[in-house]
Amino acid sequence: MADIIQLLPDHVANQIAAGEVVQRPASVVKELLENAIDAGATSIKLIVKDAGKTLIQVIDNGKGMSVTDARLSFERHATSKITSADDLFNLTTKGFRGEALASIAAIAHVELKTKPELDDVGTHIKIEGSDVVSQEVIATPTGTSIAVKNLFFNIPARRNFLKSNTVELRHIIDEFNRVSLAHPIITFVMFHNGSELFNLPESNMRQRIVNVFGGKTNEKLVPVEESTEVLKISGFVGKPEFARKTRGEQFFFVNNRFIKSSYLNHAVNAAFEGLLRDGTHASYFLYLEVDPKSIDINIHPTKTEIKFDDEHTLYALLRSSVKHSLGQFNIAPVLDFEHNSSMDTPYNYKHKEANNPVIEVDRSFNPFKNDKETSRKSGVTFKKEPVSSWESLYVGLESKGNSSDAFSQLQLESDEEMPSMFEKANDEVTQKTFQIHGKYIVNTIKSGMLFIDQQRAHQRVLYEQFLQHITVKEAVSQQLLFPLAMEFSTMEIAILLNLKEQLEQTGFVFSKLEGDEVEISGVPVSVEASKVSQVLETLISDVENEVPDNHFSQTDLIAKSLAKSLAIKTGQSLSVQEQEHLVNSLFACKEPSISPTNRATFITMKVEDIDKKFN
C-alpha cells in the first residue's frame, strides 16, 4: 500500500494557523497593538481603511527590531517572550505564541519598517502570502511600522464571510478600546478612512474611560478598590440608574489583559441584585491583579479566556468588593434602625450656638374694653353701624319664586343631532374580542375562533408602517416642547450618522448629531419621548450585529428594530377598543399571518376541533 500521509508545505500550514489567529480584521488589530505594547511603546497610532479590508497599519515608538529579528519575526513559532515551557505559567507579556505575524503574512500583503534606537538605519521588508518580496535598508524613525494590506487576498472564501464595513469597524473599535483601557499610560490614536475617531492622551484609569466613552461617563462611575493576598481589585462600576439594555460597557482585565468570563460576570451581577431594572445590564471596568502562576492564559488562540486556580475565592472577593463599593457610596439602600437623618445638624449651623426664642406680649391688651375707650386712646374714631340681629344679614337674599325658575330662561348651545345613515340592529354593543392572560386576543369568526399573539401582531403592524414611511417618505413627526439631549460613544454616533436619513424618514428630527452628543427635537407619533433613548440603543445594538451590505436590507432592519422596541409587550392589558383596533390593523397588513421575524401572529381553531375536545 502506497504512503498517503505527507507533510504540509509551510505556506499551507501558515494559512491553517491563520484560521485560528486571524478570524477578521479586528484580530489583526489586536495582535499588532499587543506587539507594540510588548515593544515598550509610549505612543501607538492605528490607521484603518475600509474597516481593515484594505489597510491596517500600526505605528509605534517602541524599541524596534534588528535586521535579523525583523526577518525571524515572520517565521512560525518565533517569539522573544518565552524560552521554555515553564515560561507559559509566568507570563507578563501579551504576544507569546509566535504565530501572529507568520499567520498574518500568509493571508495578506505585509510591509514592515523598523529601527532600533541605537542603529542609524532601519529595515524595510515586503511579504506577500508568506513570500518575501524585498528586504532593504531604509531611513525610518525609532520604533516599528507594520502595514497589513488586502487581507485574505489569497483566500477569497474567507473574505466573502466578512460582514459589512459597519460591523467589522465595530469589532476593530472593540479591540482598540480593550487594549487602550488596559494601558491608560500609553497614548493611542485611531484613524478610519482619513478621519480621526479616537485621540487618547496619557492619563489615569478614570480619565481614559471618560475619553473613550464620553464626558458624561464620569458621573456614572463608582470606584471599586480592594487588596488581598490572593487578588487585587481596582476599577469602576456604573451606577444602577445608568444601566443599559446592551452589554457594551463590561470589561474585565486580568494583569492588564482583557478577558471574557461568564463566571466573574455572574459575581458582579450578584452584587447588583435588586438594584437593576429587568432586562438591563450593569456597566463595569474592573482590573484584577493575580499571581501569573495561578492562571493559564494559553487555553484559547485569541487569549481572551483564562483558567484560574481558585475561581470560588475570586468570585466571593469580587462580589463582596462591588457590593461594598455600592454601599459605601450610598448607591445601594442601607438599613440603619438607630440613626435618624432628620436629627442631623446642618453643616452651616454645626459650630453655632442655639438662640433662645423670644416672645413679645402686649401686656396692655384687654379684649373686654368698650370700643369708644379703645378708639379714644388710639386717637382714631371709627363709625360702627349697629346690627340689630344676625337675621338682618340675610335680608334681600330670599327668592321670590322657585330657584329652578331662574334657569328656565337660559338657552344652551348644542350640536344638531344628525340622523344615522345605518339602522342599528340592537341598541347594545356586543363585545367581539377577549384578552387572555395579557398575551392573546381571542376573536370569533364564522368557522370558529382566532387566537392572536398581541405582541407579534403589533410588531407586524408597526413594521409595515415604518417600512412604508421610510420608502414613501411621508412620516408624521411630533415636535417636542423641550429637545431631548442624549450621549453616545464614538462608534454609536457613527452608526446614527449612517442611519440618520432613514430615521428622519420615520419621523425623528435631529437638531444636533456630532461629537458624542445627540439632540432630538421631534419623534414619530407612535414613539413616546421617554422611550427614545431605549429605542435608539436597541437600534444601534441591532445594527452593530446584523446590518447587511445592501441599502434595502438596512431599511428593513431599522423597521424591524423600531417595531420590536415599540410594540406592546406580553402582559399589557388592553381595552376592548384597543383589542379591536389591533385586530383590524393586523388584517389590514400585507402579510398579517407572520411577524417581522417570520413567526406566526395568529392561529385558528375551528368549531369541529372544539367539538372533538368534548368527544
Total tally of structural domains belonging to the chain: 3
Q: What is the mean pLDDT of the chain?
A: 80
Residue 393: pLDDT band with limits 50, 70, 90: low
Residue 500 in any domain: the answer is yes
Residue 84 in any domain: the answer is yes
Tell me how far apart the alpha carbons of residues 550 and 298 are, in angstroms, rounded to a whole number.
40
CA distances from 144 to 40, 103, 112, 493, 557 (A): 11, 18, 7, 32, 42
Task: Please tell me whether residues 287 and 260 are part of one structural domain.
Answer: yes
Task: Please tell me whether residues 218 and 189 are part of one structural domain.
Answer: no
**The pLDDT of residue 180 is above 90:** yes
The pLDDT, as a whole number, for residue 273 is 86
Total Cβ atoms within 10 A of residue 251: 20
**The pLDDT of residue 526 is above 90:** no
**The pLDDT of residue 391 is above 80:** no
Give pLDDT tens digits for 134-167: 999 999 999 999 999 998 888 888 888 888 788 8
Residue 111: pLDDT band with limits 50, 70, 90: very high
Total Cβ atoms within 10 A of residue 276: 14
The answer to whether 237 and 284 are in contact (CB under 8 A) is: yes
The pLDDT, as a whole number, for residue 44 is 94
**Domain holding 48: CATH number?**
3.30.565.10
The pLDDT, as a whole number, for residue 558 is 81
**The pLDDT of residue 550 is above 50:** no
Tell me how far apart the alpha carbons of residues 568 and 579 are, in angstroms, rounded to a whole number.
12
Span 328-336, average pLDDT: 67
Query: Within a 13 Å sphere around the CA of 34, how many CA atoms are in the beta-carbon half?
Result: 24
For the CA atoms of 495, 497, 502, 505, the dihedral, rounded to the nearest 10 degrees, stands at: 140
Span 566-592, average pLDDT: 86
Task: Please tell me whether residues 178 and 234 are part of one structural domain.
Answer: no
Task: Please tell me whether residues 136 and 212 are part of one structural domain.
Answer: no
Task: Please tell me whether residues 249 and 163 are part of one structural domain.
Answer: no
**Domain holding 545: CATH number?**
3.30.1370.100
β-sheet with 517-524: strand ranges across: 477-487, 517-524, 509-514
The pLDDT, as a whole number, for residue 200 is 92
The pLDDT, as a whole number, for residue 390 is 62
**The pLDDT of residue 380 is above 60:** no
The pLDDT, as a whole number, for residue 179 is 92
Residue 408 in any domain: the answer is no
**The pLDDT of residue 559 is above 90:** no
Give pLDDT tens digits for 409-445: 656 565 566 555 554 444 445 667 888 888 888 888 8
Span 479-507, average pLDDT: 82
Task: Please tell me whether residues 117 and 217 are part of one structural domain.
Answer: no
Total Cβ atoms within 10 A of residue 432: 13
Q: Which of 200, 216, 232 represents a domain boundary (last residue)?
A: 200
Closest C-alpha to 147, from 226, 246, 293, 47: 47
**The pLDDT of residue 92 is above 70:** no
The pLDDT, as a whole number, for residue 189 is 94
**The pLDDT of residue 215 is above 80:** no
Q: Which of 296, 328, 360 represents a domain boundary (last residue)?
A: 328
The answer to whether 238 and 273 are in contact (CB under 8 A) is: no
**The pLDDT of residue 549 is above 50:** no
Span 513-521, average pLDDT: 81
Nearest-5° Cα angle at 83, 77 to 88: 85
Residue 424 in any domain: the answer is no
**Domain holding 222: CATH number?**
3.30.230.10
Residue 561: pLDDT band with limits 50, 70, 90: confident
Span 165-170, average pLDDT: 84
The pLDDT, as a whole number, for residue 115 is 92
Residue 176: pLDDT band with limits 50, 70, 90: very high
Residue 443 in any domain: the answer is yes
The pLDDT, as a whole number, for residue 47 is 94
Higher pLDDT, 289 or 3: 289
Total Cβ atoms within 10 A of residue 211: 19
The pLDDT, as a whole number, for residue 394 is 66
Task: Please tell me whether residues 163 and 79 are part of one structural domain.
Answer: yes
Higher pLDDT, 121 or 91: 121
Give pLDDT tens digits for 449-471: 888 888 899 989 988 888 888 77
Task: Please tell me whether residues 460 and 568 are part of one structural domain.
Answer: yes
Span 333-350, average pLDDT: 62
Residue 609: pLDDT band with limits 50, 70, 90: confident
Task: Please tell me whether residues 175 and 293 are part of one structural domain.
Answer: no
Task: Using the Cα atoms of residue 11, residue 13, residue 19 and residue 21 in order, give the sign of their dihedral.
Answer: negative
Q: By residue range, what is the domain housing residue 303?
A: 205-328
Task: Please tell me whether residues 322 and 469 are part of one structural domain.
Answer: no
The pLDDT, as a whole number, for residue 110 is 92
Residue 523 in any domain: the answer is yes
The pLDDT, as a whole number, for residue 4 is 79
The pLDDT, as a whole number, for residue 39 is 87
Q: Which of 300, 328, 356 represents a domain boundary (last residue)?
A: 328
Residue 118 in any domain: the answer is yes
The answer to whether 555 and 513 are in contact (CB under 8 A) is: no
Residue 529 in any domain: the answer is yes
Q: What percent of the chain has pLDDT over 90?
A: 17
Span 16-33, average pLDDT: 81
Phi and psi of 143, rounded to 5°?
A: 120, -160
Residue 97: pLDDT band with limits 50, 70, 90: low
Q: What percent of the chain has pLDDT over 70?
A: 78
Task: Please tell me whether residues 122 and 231 are part of one structural domain.
Answer: no
Task: Please tell me whether residues 170 and 314 are part of one structural domain.
Answer: no
Span 59-77, average pLDDT: 86
